[in-house]
Amino acid sequence: MSPPLVPAPASAVVRDAPAPDLSAGIRIEADPAFAAEGERLVVALGRGSAPVTIRRGDHPEEGYALRVAEDGVVIEAATAAGVFYAGRTLIQLAEAAAPTAVEIRDEPRFAYRGIMLDVARHFHPVETVFAVIDRASDLKLNTLHLHLTDDQGWRLALSTRPELAQLASGTSVDGDPGGFYTADDYARIIAYAAHRHMAVVPEIDVPGHTHAVGLAYPELVADPVIGDEVREVTAESGGALPVAGEPYTAIGVGFSSLRADAPGVDAFLADVFHELAALTPGPYLHLGGDEALGTSADDYRSLVDRAARAVAATGKTPIAWHEAGAAPLPRGTIGQYWGFLTPTDGHDDRARAFVANGGRIILSPADAIYLDMKDAPDAPLGLTWANGPTNVERSYRWDPAGVITGIDEADILGVEAALWTETLRTRADVERLLLPRLASAAEAAWSPPYGSMPARTWESFRERVAGRGSAWERDAPGFGRSPEIPWA
Ligand code: TNX
């Protein structure tokens, strides 16, 4: 039997033996290096009598061993992150219907386990970001990718370029209120994430998705290129077509571009990425690069090359959406693949170009783990372009190593779910689509390969997810109670 855990651990042996009653609270005996992690477990489970020993041991970076037996709990790890993940597992066991005696050895399959949140289409306040961090770190994700800029708004105040937040953040899609993070807000997000062993990857999207830049710096952007698709999507969403110098509040994509020949472009890229690097402790900066349909192929290559060099000049490693594989990039640049589980239109070629250039790939297959796809044909929230409407089973039944021919285990840095917010206005909207499909992405990122063990099957997953229902009801009321899951 698989223990009631999400994501499934690398190995677990359930014993038919008495287990301690963790609901009565715990007392900790911890190696001093892990005292803070121990204290947070007491806060989560309550102070009581069940003994929990936390000690140092030889384990992989984020791995751990966890033994739950009648005489108590023993956690062993090499790092605070490992203890944190053992704690997440223990909390899930404590929240399960029946106490389980179990021996677990666990470690992540991939180093990068992410959730992307779009705060540009709709601005989302710091508290909503905290809620996303909580849900993601409970599922052992370790990266929050913030999509900070898009046609509809620029969401981070920069002291070198104050006009961006001042002039380009006022609105969201449908004319909903806009907003931006101050440097202090951004620092609070980073600290909140770091406390839960998550790094923040900020994205400034260039050269497309830059209409809002033109509200602050008209000379840096080209006139909107309005093709049939933008016309249709804008009309469907009931908005007005993009007009240079005016906020755009509909949801078309691919009409905006930086101007490759604008004299100020390199200074802009240098200022923005330099300040972003100074505000961001993690190793990565994301430069976007997606859907630049309003940029000629030559200008695209030139602008992506210059943006990626501006990132590399800060000492950070660039990440870019897979289209950027068509441009010259610093060696080792990471590619993020958003194509389908069965690649189309050469998207796989673009992804392979990153690997040929010494980089690795983050997999975000849109028809599996774009969480903003509608989860039912009549769903009030979400889009459908990625073979939608979708469902939980579709988000689960795939394996990262099986998506792109030639991109194998060692070429994959990790897996990231994406939540775009064209249709998501509130924290409740975000939570409605975040769960349960974020759990599918978490298993793809953390657990052994799909199909490689009894726990890594859809049948096991839906039972284990059902077991998380009451905790999610408490933490994210209104989350997506899919009919595919046998909720208690
Ligand atoms: C595609 S895939 C986008 C976003 C949209 C999203 C909506 C990719 C990198 N870009 O601009 O918000 O679809 O699902």
User: Within 10 A of 191 (CB to CB), how many other CB atoms are there?
Assistant: 11
Q: How many A from CA of 22 to the centre of ligand 1? A: 43
Q: Which atom of ligand 1 is nearest to the CA of 290?
A: 9
421 CA closest ligand 1 atom index: 12
Q: Is 253 in the pocket of ligand 1 (CB under 6 A)?
A: yes
Domain range list for the chain: 11-106, 112-475
Burial degree of 204 (CB within 10 A; 0-12, 13-18, 19+): buried
Determine the atom of ligand 1 nearest the C-alpha atom of 321.
9
- What's the average model confidence in pLDDT over 407-423? 98
Residue whose CA is at the smallest distance from ligand 1 atom 11: 253
Fold of 112-475: TIM Barrel (3.20.20)
Best residue for ligand 1 mutational test, from 362, 420, 424, 437 (most atoms within 8 Å of Cβ): 420
Residue-wise pLDDT tens digits, 285-327: 999 999 999 999 999 999 999 999 999 999 999 999 999 999 9
Q: What is the pLDDT of residue 411?
A: 98
| Cα of 43 from ligand 1 centre, angstroms | 39
**What one-character-per-residue DSSP string does 281-303 give?**
-SSEEEEE----TTS-HHHHHHH
pLDDT of residue 232: 92
C-alpha 437/C-alpha 422 separation (Å) is 18
Tens-place pLDDT, residues 148-191:
999 999 999 999 999 999 999 999 999 999 999 999 999 999 99
Confidence of residue 99 (pLDDT cuts 50, 70, 90): confident
Q: How far is the CA of 173 from the centre of ligand 1 (A)?
A: 14
Q: Whose CA is nearest to atom 5 of ligand 1?
A: 420
Indicate whether 1 pLDDT > 80: no
For 87, 108, 219, 365, 416, the CA distances from 137, given in Å and listed in that order, are: 11, 13, 42, 21, 13
What value of ipTM does the predicted structure carry?
0.97
pLDDT-derived band at 214, boundaries 50, 70, 90: very high
Q: Which atom of ligand 1 is nearest to the CA of 121?
A: 12
Lowest mean pLDDT among 20-24, 83-87, 280-284, 375-379: 20-24
CB-ligand 1 contact for 291 (6 Å cutoff): yes
pLDDT digits (tens, 9 = 90+) for 231-281: 999 988 888 999 999 999 999 999 999 999 999 999 999 999 999 999 999
3 state SS for 206-254: ECCCCCCHHHHCHHHECCCCCCHHHHHHHHHCCCCCCCCCCCCCCCCCC
Average pLDDT for 112-140: 98
pLDDT value, residue 238: 83
Task: Calculate how far, in angstroms, residue 383's C-alpha sits from the geometric centre of ligand 1.
Answer: 10
Position 236 scores a pLDDT of 86
Q: Are 440 and 396 in contact (CB under 8 A)?
A: yes
Q: Is the CB of 255 under 6 A from ligand 1?
A: no
Q: Determine if ligand 1 sits within 6 Å of the CB of residue 370.
A: yes
Residue nearest to atom 13 of ligand 1 (CA): 420
**3-class SS at 174?**
helix
Cα distances from 270 to residues 170, 186, 238, 303, 306, in angstroms, run 24, 20, 37, 12, 9
| Ligand 1 atom index nearest CA of 364 | 2
Residues forming the active site: 291
Candidate from 291, 369, 437 with most ligand 1 atoms within 8 A of CB, to mutate: 291
Write out pLDDT tens, residues 14-34. Answer: 999 999 989 889 999 999 999
Q: What is the mean pLDDT of residues 357-364?
A: 98
Q: How far, in Å, CA of 126 to CA of 427, rounded?
A: 10
Ligand 1 near 338 CB (within 6 A) = yes
Q: In what order do the strands lie in the sheet with 64-69?
A: 11-15, 101-106, 64-69, 72-77, 50-56, 26-30
Average pLDDT, the chain: 97
Say which CATH class 11-106 falls into. alpha beta
Residue 203 has pLDDT above 80, yes or no: yes
Mean pLDDT, rounded, for 362-373 = 98
367 lines ligand 1 (CB under 6 A): no
- Which of 290, 337, 375, 419 gets mutated to test ligand 1 (max ligand atoms within 8 A of its CB)? 290
Q: What is the pLDDT of residues 31-82, one digit of tens each?
A: 999 999 999 999 999 999 999 999 999 999 999 999 999 999 999 999 999 9
CA of 420 to the centre of ligand 1 (A): 7
